[in-house]
């Protein structure tokens, strides 16, 4: 067991690293999805706007949009009304009972027809070349739904969209995008609405009541109309199976038309169209081109735009006057600058200590050449001024920090600090180190995939090494004191030491073995 | 911008005294451009004028403005929900860490109800001190290109300091088993690995997009689409979004370009805002001890922590200095006799050459050190870059495009090769540091285990 406070510090450090890592990965995942979509089959993706939206915004669930829901709501209201009107003409409502009727009463012919219808539809689906996409299958089966199962009703209006749009697949990608947009907007209101009325009336709470009353009279009409639908959709309207019997088949007919039309269309269109095939012939949309070149020009202007000398003097004058009012003269480094300097001092210190390490007598071997020895002497001598420079810098930093410290009353020590710092400035993560030059972004040229991958891998390695060193330092600070001889019980001690050894000396990757000598001797002399 | 009230205001009157002429009329335009160039909600010139007269109604607007701008600068998350109190505390502590030392500002009430003039002053100070405008324009820019950020800066300190704030909720847990740490550590390693795979995958996809679209981009330096651009071609919706963002960025940049020539007017005006008060405060400051009151909401624990860090660094440096001094002394002793012998052995000329050679080697070695000693080294590759693929075929395309239009502005660029070699150096250095630290620990832990007695440590096999 670890002492609570040090454990807490380390745990929070590690979890923080983990969270950061996860966050980065999520970003990366989103990017990957986007790249994947771009590289995938454009014919499939382009008209299917909801899918793409899901990818770009990280919407996990594929919910219908609010617009779509609103439309549905309106539809439902209209349908309710229609239902009320219709229920006045109970005698003429034959179709409602298809689903219910088949199982409630022994109307086998109807059931048979329904199944047949289904079969025909699915055959149709198989014939269309696009059907290999998973998305397409339910879509093209939709026409069958109203006859078979009324429960699908609410899904119909927006699910049918892609089916309506699909004929566009053969046109060029951009064109199809635009067209599909138009289609997407109009279809739920225009084409889909009226047809959907009849299937929707089939369901709902009222369904049960109505069906009980109607059943006996409904059935002949139903089978008739369904047969009609199966044979030819154009005939349907003229059949005299009652208002509603005719309404439903006409719906079927209309719905089936687009999918029938679409199948020859899809046959002529190329089956897939990917970036790889048409990448080099793509053109950026004109407005985009314009906007981006304008932006580039503005950035270039911005880069060249300098503060005029007069303005600079006026500004400096103001700053001087303002800083005169500061309490006590400001130190040469702000806290942030102190931190930056400190980081870089750390780097210098480490480099120097490495030099020293390679130059210690032990690493020279028995008889170093004179040249080598001279080199070492020169190096060490060269290090001395660098070292004293560093020390000077440290002293300056110390002064600066001390001067900042003096702004606080002497007694405001750590105690209350922890409680009030929830919103402190030190919770930020610096996005960049602010070294970016104002202007258009600099370019990084790469010439092969391998190069790019190596670059990214190294970048990550450097970042993780920074992190690891950081964690290592923190652990040293917290765990090494635990090794001091203390009142800890012997038993847990060994395992604690073992864990500490693993964490501190092996980066948590390998484990040492700790063997009790007593047991060892037991083992050795059986 | 066209608000006439500003022109007739006292502010304008003050301007007249200082600098008669066209500047009076320019002030609203300058402020208008200034606030247009900043992201987020606009602050009207009228509000600035109110702030000059320290009107309380302007103060809350300025707190909000400062909070939103500074959170962006610090890379934090802008929380609309943050209450005024925490917004005020945040702004104060950021100002403090940047070295703003005007006590009157820190004494402002935390409810944000007063002090618009102080806020105007601190805002202008930030504007100049950290190039607020330029930084924000850079941070909020639209990036339709594929970006690689090569930043080897150490962020150690930044992440370390967060740790104190975190996890009051884990207090209740109290003690933790060390195995929990091991588990977390393992998870982290695992996460890093899967991050690596994802990244490699992304490289692959990027490269595909780049190489497939080579020759289609109108811009001759790039010559290919980025993922975003390809998406824009494929999908008008995302293109529209992009266009909107670009539009707003353009207008901000335009405002910035408009602001630049008008800047002078603003700074003159700011001087009048500061007024004659400067002298008074100085005298006041000389007489009184300056202390930021505890009620200000700014705390000093960050100062303490940095002080600790400096102390540690100093100790290390001193120890190293002692060691070097000692080594130099020894080395000199052992060299002295040899030098004479060697000189005679080699002859004057040869000896000089040898000495020069050695000096050259050392000079090169130590130049590394100099490169290190500027924070975020200037000469290093560093920051975000726009990724450009220069495949085999792209070269011909490039020259083909370049002929009709000689490039006026050369966009600076680096090659992946140079970045890679830089990163490799970095990696070697850091790996060495980590190994060294582990080695030191190994000695310490080993000793401690010896101290246990009766326990034998068998270190894991080296790989």
Q: Tell me how far apart the alpha carbons of residues A79 and A60 are, in angstroms, rounded to a whole number.
A: 31
Predicted confidence at residue B322, as pLDDT, reads 92
First to last CA, chain A: 35
Residue B157, pLDDT score: 42
Distance separating alpha carbons of residues A2 and B166, to the nearest angstrom: 18
Query: B260, B235, B231, B37: which is closest to B143 by C-alpha?
Result: B231
Q: Report the C-alpha dihedral over residues A512, A513, A514, A516, rounded to 10 degrees.
A: -170
B243 contact A CB<8A: yes
- Cβ contacts of residue B423 below 8 Å, gap of 6+? A455, A458, A459, A461, A462, B150, B152
The DSSP secondary-structure symbol of A102 reads H
Using DSSP's 3-state secondary structure scheme, residue A95 falls into helix
Residue B14 structure tokens: 């003050």
Cβ atoms of residues A375 and A367 within 8 Å: no
Q: Is A415 on the interface with B (CB under 8 A)?
A: no
**DSSP conformational letter for A446:** E
Closest residue by Cα to residue B134 from A438, A308, A431, A305 = A438
CA-based nearest distance A277→chain B, Å: 8
DSSP labels for A496-512?
Answer: HHHHHHHHHHSTTS---
Is A290 near chain B, with CB under 8 Å? no
- Contact: B264, A310; criterion CB under 8 Å: yes
State residue A392's pLDDT score.
92
Q: Which residue of B has its CA nearest to A381?
A: B328
Name chain B contacts of A171, Cβ cutoff 8 Å.
none
Region at B376 (left for phi over 0; alpha for psi -120 to 50; beta for the rest)? left
Task: Please tell me the distance from the alpha carbon of residue B184 to that of residue A10, in angstroms, as a whole number.
Answer: 10
| Chain B contact set for A275 (CB, 8 A) | 208-209, 212-213, 230
**Residues of B in Cβ contact (< 8 Å) with A481:** none
- pLDDT score of A228: 42
CB pairs < 8 Å spanning A and B: 724
The beta-carbon neighbor of A497 closest among B159, B310, B448 is B448
Taking an 8 Å cut-off on Cβ atoms, the answer to whether A386 and B366 are in contact is yes
Cβ of residue A310 closer than 8 Å to a chain B Cβ? yes
Task: Specify the DSSP element, H or E, that contains B69.
Answer: helix B56-74
From chain A residues 332-351, the ones with a CB under 8 A of any chain B CB are 333-351
Which DSSP letter does residue B171 get? Answer: G
- Residue B129: both structure tokens together: 């001190």
Taking an 8 Å cut-off on Cβ atoms, the answer to whether B86 and A422 are in contact is yes
Distance from CA of B8 to the nearest CA of A (A): 23
Alpha helix positions (H), B347-384: 348-372
Which of B177, B206, B239 is nearest residue A35 as measured by Cβ atoms? B206
Residue numbers in chain B where pLDDT is lower than 50: 1-21, 156-172, 376-379, 393-410
B93 touches chain A (CB under 8 A): yes
Interface list for A 260-279 with B (CB within 8 A): 275-276, 279
Tell me, what's the pLDDT at A322? 86
Chain A (47-76) residues lying within 8 Å, Cβ to Cβ, of chain B: 49, 52-53, 56
Greatest pairwise CA separation for chain A in angstroms: 117
A357 and A385 Cβ atoms separated by less than 8 Å: no
Tokens representing residue B397 in the block: 């395309």
Q: What is the pLDDT along chain A (526 residues), one digit of tens a residue?
A: 677 777 888 888 888 888 888 988 998 999 898 888 888 777 654 444 433 333 333 344 445 566 767 777 787 788 777 777 767 655 544 444 444 444 444 444 444 444 444 444 444 434 444 334 333 333 333 443 344 443 333 333 333 344 344 444 343 444 433 433 434 443 333 333 343 433 433 333 444 444 444 444 444 444 444 444 444 433 334 334 444 433 443 333 333 343 333 333 333 444 556 676 676 677 777 888 888 889 888 988 888 888 888 888 989 989 888 888 887 777 788 888 888 888 888 888 888 887 887 776 665 666 667 777 788 888 888 888 889 989 999 999 999 888 888 887 765 544 444 433 433 444 444 444 555 678 888 888 888 899 999 999 999 998 899 889 888 988 888 888 887 766 555 456 777 888 888 888 888 888 888 777 776 677 666 5
Q: What residues of chain B, 333 to 352, have a C-beta less than 8 Å from chain A?
A: 334-335, 338-339, 342
User: Angle CA(B420)–CA(B425)–CA(B431) in degrees, nearest 5?
Assistant: 120
pLDDT in tens, B272-325: 888 776 566 666 665 566 677 766 767 777 788 888 889 989 999 999 999 899
Instruction: Specify whether the CB–CB gap between A266 and A258 falls below 8 A.
Output: no
The two three-digit tokens of residue B57, written as one number: 């109604």
Please tell me the pTM assigned to this model: 0.66
How many of the other CB atoms lie within 10 Å of CB of B332? 13
CB–CB contact A514 B103 (8 Å): no
- List of chain A residues whose C-beta atoms are within 8 Å of the C-beta of residue B386: 441-444
Residue A412: predicted pLDDT: 52
The region that residue B223 occupies, defined by phi over 0 for left and psi between -120 and 50 for alpha, beta otherwise, is left
Residue of A nearest to B97 (CA): A335
Residues of B in contact with A282 (CB under 8 A): 213, 216, 225, 230, 233
CB–CB contact B164 A483 (8 Å) = no
Q: Give residue B461's region: left, alpha or beta (phi > 0; psi -120 to 50).
A: beta
Tens-place pLDDT, residues B362-407 = 888 787 777 665 554 444 667 788 888 886 544 433 333 333 333 3
- Interface contact B225-A282, CB threshold 8 A: yes
What pLDDT, on a 0 to 100 scale, did the predictor assign at position B358?
Answer: 83
Q: What is the DSSP letter of A41?
A: B
The C-alpha of A327 sits at a distance from chain B's nearest C-alpha, in angstroms, of 6
Contact B434 A468 (CB under 8 A): yes
H-helix or E-strand spanning residue B387: strand B383-389
Give residue A113's pLDDT. 43
Rounded to a whole number, what is the distance in Å from the CA of A298 to chain B's nearest CA? 6
Using alpha carbons only, give the angle B146, B150, B151 rounded to the nearest 5 degrees. 140
């Amino acid at each position: 067991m670890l002492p609570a406070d040090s454990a807490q510090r380390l745990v929070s450090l590690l979890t923080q690293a983990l969270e950061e890592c996860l966050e980065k990965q999520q970003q990366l995942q989103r990017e990957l999805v986007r790249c994947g979509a771009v590289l995938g089959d454009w014919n499939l993706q382009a008209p299917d706007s909801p899918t793409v939206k899901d990818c770009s915004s990280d919407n996990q669930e594929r919910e219908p949009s609010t617009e779509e829901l609103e439309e549905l709501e309106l539809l439902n209201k209209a349908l309710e009304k229609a239902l009320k009107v219709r229920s006045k003409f109970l005698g003429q409502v034959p179709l409602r009972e298809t689903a219910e009727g088949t199982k409630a009463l022994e109307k086998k012919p109807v059931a048979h027809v329904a199944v047949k219808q289904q079969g025909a539809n699915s055959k149709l689906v198989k014939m269309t070349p696009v059907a290999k996409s998973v998305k397409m299958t339910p879509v093209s089966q939709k026409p069958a739904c109203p006859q078979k199962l009324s429960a699908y009703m609410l899904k119909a209006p927006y699910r049918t969209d892609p089916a309506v749009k699909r004929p566009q697949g053969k046109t060029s990608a951009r064109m199809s995008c635009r067209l599909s947009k138009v289609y997407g907007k109009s279809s739920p209101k225009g084409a889909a609405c009226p047809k959907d009325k009849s299937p929707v009336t089939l369901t709902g709470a009222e369904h049960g009541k109505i069906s009980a009353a109607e059943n006996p009279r409904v059935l002949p009409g139903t089978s008739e109309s369904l047969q009609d639908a199966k044979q030819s959709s154009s005939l349907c309207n003229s059949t005299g199976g009652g208002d509603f019997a005719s309404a439903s088949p006409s719906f079927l007919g209309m719905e089936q038309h687009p999918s029938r039309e679409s199948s020859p269309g899809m046959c002529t269109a190329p089956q897939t169209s990917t970036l790889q095939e048409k990448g080099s012939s793509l053109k950026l949309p004109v407005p985009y081109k314009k906007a981006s070149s304008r932006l580039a020009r503005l950035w270039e202007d911005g880069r060249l735009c300098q503060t005029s000398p007069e303005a600079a003097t006026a500004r400096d004058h103001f700053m001087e006057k303002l800083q005169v009012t500061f309490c006590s003269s400001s130190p040469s480094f702000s806290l942030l600058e102190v931190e930056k300097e400190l980081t870089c001092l750390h780097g210098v210190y480490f480099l120097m200590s490495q030099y020293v390490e390679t130059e210690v007598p032990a690493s020279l071997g028995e008889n170093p050449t004179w040249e080598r020895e001279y080199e070492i002497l020169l190096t060490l001598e060269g290090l001395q001024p660098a070292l004293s420079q560093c020390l000077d810098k440290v002293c300056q930093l110390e002064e600066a920090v001390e001067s900042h410290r003096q702004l606080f009353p002497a007694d405001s020590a750590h105690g209350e600090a922890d409680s009030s710092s929830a919103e402190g400035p030190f919770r930020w993560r610096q996005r960049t180190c602010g070294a970016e030059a104002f202007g258009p972004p600099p370019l990084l040229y790469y010439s092969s995939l391998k190069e790019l991958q190596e670059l990214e891998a190294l970048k990550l390695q450097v970042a993780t090494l920074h992190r690891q060193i950081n964690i290592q330092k923190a652990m040293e600070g917290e765990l090494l004191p635990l090794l001091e001889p203390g009142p800890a019980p012997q038993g847990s001690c060994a395992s604690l030491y073992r864990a500490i050894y693993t964490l501190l000396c092996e980066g948590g990757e390998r484990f040492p073995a700790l063997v009790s000598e007593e047991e060892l001797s037991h083992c050795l002399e059986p | 911008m066209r608000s006439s009230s500003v022109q007739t205001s006292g502010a304008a009157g003050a301007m007249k005294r200082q600098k008669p002429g066209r500047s009076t009329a320019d002030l609203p335009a300058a402020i208008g451009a200034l606030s247009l160039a900043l992201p987020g909600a606009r602050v009207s010139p009228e509000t600035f004028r109110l702030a000059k007269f320290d009107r309380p109604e302007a103060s809350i607007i300025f707190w909000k403005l400062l909070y939103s701008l500074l959170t962006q600068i610090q890379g934090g998350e802008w929380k609309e929900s943050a209450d005024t109190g925490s917004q005020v505390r945040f702004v104060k502590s950021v100002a403090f860490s940047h070295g703003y030392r005007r006590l009157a500002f820190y004494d402002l009430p935390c409810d944000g109800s007063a002090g618009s003039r102080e806020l105007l002053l601190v805002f202008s100070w930030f504007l100049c001190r950290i190039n607020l405008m330029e930084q924000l324009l850079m941070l909020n820019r639209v990036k339709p290109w594929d970006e690689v950020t090569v930043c080897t800066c150490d962020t150690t300190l930044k992440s370390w300091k967060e740790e104190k704030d975190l996890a009051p909720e884990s207090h209740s847990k109290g003690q933790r088993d060390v195995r929990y740490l091991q588990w977390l550590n393992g998870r982290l390693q695992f996460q890093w690995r899967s991050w690596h795979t994802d990244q490699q995958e992304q490289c692959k996809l990027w490269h595909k997009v780049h190489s497939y679209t080579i020759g289609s981009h109108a811009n001759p330096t790039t010559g290919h689409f980025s993922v975003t651009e390809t998406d824009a071609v494929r999908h008008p919706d995302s293109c529209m979004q992009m266009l909107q963002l670009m539009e707003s960025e353009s207008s901000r940049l335009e405002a910035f370009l408009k602001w630049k020539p008008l800047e002078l007017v603003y700074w003159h005006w700011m001087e009048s805002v500061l007024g004659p008060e400067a002298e008074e405060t100085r005298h006041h400051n000389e007489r009184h001890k300056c202390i930021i009151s505890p009620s200000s909401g700014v705390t000093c624990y960050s100062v303490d922590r940095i002080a600790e860090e400096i102390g540690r660094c100093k100790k290390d440096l001193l120890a190293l200095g002692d060691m070097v001094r000692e080594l130099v002394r020894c080395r000199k002793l052992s060299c002295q006799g040899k030098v004479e012998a060697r000189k005679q052995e080699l002859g004057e000329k040869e000896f000089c050459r040898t000495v020069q050679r050695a000096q050259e080697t050392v000079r090169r070695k130590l130049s590394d050190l100099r490169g290190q000693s500027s924070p975020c080294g200037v000469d290093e590759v560093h920051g975000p870059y726009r990724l450009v693929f220069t495949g085999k075929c792209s070269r011909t395309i490039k020259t083909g495009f370049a002929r009709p239009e000689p490039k006026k502005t050369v966009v600076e660029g680096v090659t992946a090769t140079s970045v890679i070699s830089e990163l490799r150096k970095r990696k070697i250095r850091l790996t060495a540091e980590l190994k060294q630290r582990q080695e030191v620990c190994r000695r310490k832990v080993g000793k401690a285990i010896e101290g246990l007695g009766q326990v034998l440590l068998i270190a894991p096999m080296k790989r």
